[in-house]
Chain A
Amino acid sequence: MPQDALSKLLSTRDWLMADGATGTNLFNMGLSSGEPPEFWNIDQPDNIRKLYRGAVEAGSDIFLTNTFGGNASRLKLHQAQDRVHELNRVGAALGREIADASGRTVVVAGSVGPTGEIFEPMGTLTHALAVEMFHEQAEGLKAGGADVLWIETISAPEEYKAAAEAAALAGMPWCGTMSFDTAGRTMMGTTSAAMAEMVEKLANPPLAFGANCGVSASDLMRTVLGFVSTGTARPIIAKGNAGIPKYHDGHIHYDGTPELMAEYAVLARDAGVRIIGGCCGTMPEHLKAMRAALEATPKGPRPTLEDISAKLGGFSSASDGTGDTSNDPKRERRSRRG
């Protein structure tokens, strides 16, 4: 089987740069809130081309398609659950067009976000239904020419596993990141170390795994160190937010500067991350600064938590549930379960 574009790039380069924000960019182009961005693949294709081109021209080796919310569960909120295949196919096809016109190898990564549902027994989502929804989306992305599936912002390990199974059903190579936004863990309590372990147990492990979004770039780097300390040989992905959203006079902006994101990119690479990108608030000017810094700065030693907080700011919680947790708060209990 011929190697996929991402594996080829990974085998020839030390690091690759992914893209930045999708939502922040589209809102700046006039997407109104509440409107599903995926509709623009059909209704405003030139804006989507512009989004993709912005990342490619800023030096990204990989960009994500505008299909994050393109699963039946999310689209149902707009009565568009019957448009899954179409919206994903076109989102990927526009990406293919921009990547092929770039004159270099650029990977079109078909973005797959969470269903937004909670798994049974607490919620209503079953494994079979989750696999079915992800598979439907994956087939659309495949038909549009995506090189890989890119599963992102996942909180529940069950959902990550379902997406992995869907990638296998679609016969697609894949990458998958989780979002660590709650005291250094995912909303569902998964630690960085637990994710690294889970990934290796999958029947079809991803080409690369890692973290995206979450809180700040510094928190995301702490998560990355958690992955690295497991000794994993699998390529790691880091896609951190450009700072934290701030509200000024009715407008929102992210406080991370291009300089800060450049520092973050170099720290990520020095920590051993192979695929480095941004998430919310990361605009083409941030990506350009990141690319320039990655190329200009010689590789340094692996940063410590102190290096990270000194350069990117403090962490949102004292611990992230990995390493020595003997000092973490615990409840003294009289429980039935030992």
Chain B
Amino acid sequence: MADDEIILADLSDDELVLQMHDDLYDGLKEEIEDGVNILIERGWTPYDVLTKALVAGMTIVGNDFRDGILFVPEVLLSANAMKAGMHILKPLLVETGAPRMGKMVIGTVKGDIHDIGKNLVAMMMEGAGFEVLDLGINNSVEKYIEALETEKPDILGMSALLTTTMPYMKVVIDTMKEKGLRDDYIVLVGGAPLNEEFGRAIGADAYCRDAAVAVETAKAWVARKHNQMGA
């Protein structure tokens, strides 16, 4: 790369963090790895590196994606760079017992085999520091429930691209209610044919218009859940 004029190690902490936000924006994987390592060497906690450098940078990417300034290819590159940074941080976060962003189980509902939107949400959620278990396509209610019980996530995400499969989301939510599980999880739904009205009608916590909104909504709901537990 012909960017010799910027030496990351010469930047002050504040400047470096801003530079990392830009490097994430540009999807520069190696620069992000370097930045993460430098901050750790300077004695930053892994959690501060995650939240102040990476997650804050991905928030800018997410906002510009939501606002139609960035599009999927750029966002995927950014998420890829974020992931490289996360790869370094993950063991350190576990070691230091840092608070987790949260965990999500996500899958496309039974009958629906469309997965681009769901994959994007999974990538953006990982990019935002969440742990994501992707159940893939065509998931039955049994499969969702099993994953909830074994994985104990904070969030269940369901996706449907077809107008004929979206009502199945209600089947899953109703089953969760029957089993007394509904209130243990944040339920987010998304997919091209959905809207807020539908999300409310089936008893989801929120409808997410796109992957960027999904991340913002997940953060807000997880924060709310933690506050409740602390109260």
Contact = CB atoms under 8 A, between A and B. Distances in A.
Given A252-B163, A336-B6, A182 B71 contact: yes
Nearest to A181: B192
A185 interface: yes
Interface stretch (B23-31, B94-102, B178-186, B215-223): B23-31
Contacts of A185: 68, 71
A-side interface mostly: loop
A155 B6 CA distance: 36
A32 B192 CA distance: 19
B201 A247 contact: yes
A77 interface: yes
B64 A331 contact: yes
A188 B72 contact: yes
A319 interface: yes
A123 B120 CA distance: 11
A328 B112 CA distance: 36
A252 B113 contact: no
B114 interface: yes
Given A33-B112, A116-B114, A116-B116, A335 B73 contact: no
Interface in A288-338: 317, 319, 321, 328-331, 333-337
A34 interface: yes
Contact of B113 (A77, A181, A334): A77
A77 B137 contact: yes
Contacts of B28: 336
B164 interface: yes
B115 A335 contact: no
B22 A252 contact: no
Contact of A189 (B73, B80, B168, B210): B73
Interface string A13-39: 000000000010001000011111000
Contacts of B6: 336
B23 A336 contact: yes
Contact of A32 (B71, B111, B166, B195): B111
Contacts of A74: 113
B69 interface: yes
B25 A331 contact: yes
Given A32-B111, A333-B25, A188 B64 contact: no
B72 A335 contact: no
A128 interface: no
B37 interface: no
B94 to A, nearest CB: 28
Contact of B164 (A33, A183, A334): A33
A182 B113 CA distance: 21
A256 interface: no
A33 B162 contact: yes
Interface string A101-140: 0000000000000001010001100000000000000000
B195 A247 contact: yes
A335 B201 CA distance: 44
Given A32-B111, A77-B137, A187 B72 contact: yes
A245 interface: yes
Given A247-B197, A335-B22, A189 B72 contact: yes
Interface centre among A23, A33, A337 (most CB of B within 10 A): A33
Interface string A70-100: 0000100110000000000000000000000
Given A252-B164, A331-B60, A34 B71 contact: no
B149 interface: no
A250 interface: yes
A171 B89 CA distance: 53
Contacts of B70: 189
A118 B116 contact: yes
A247 B165 contact: no
B138 interface: yes
B19 interface: yes
A123 B76 CA distance: 9
A333 B25 CA distance: 10
A218 B146 CA distance: 43
Contacts of B162: 23, 33
A198 to B, nearest CB: 15
Contacts of A336: 1, 3, 6, 22-23, 26, 28
Interface in B65-108: 67-74, 76-77, 80
Contacts of B113: 34, 36, 74, 77-78
B73 A122 contact: yes
Contacts of A78: 113
B6 to A, nearest CB: 6
Contacts of A181: 192
Given A33-B162, A334-B18, 10 more contacts: A23-B162, A118-B76, A122-B80, A184-B68, A189-B70, A189-B73, A189-B74, A245-B163, A247-B166, A335-B26
Q: Which 7 A-B pairs have the closest CB atoms?
A: A189-B71, A183-B68, A34-B111, A252-B163, A33-B164, A33-B111, A122-B76
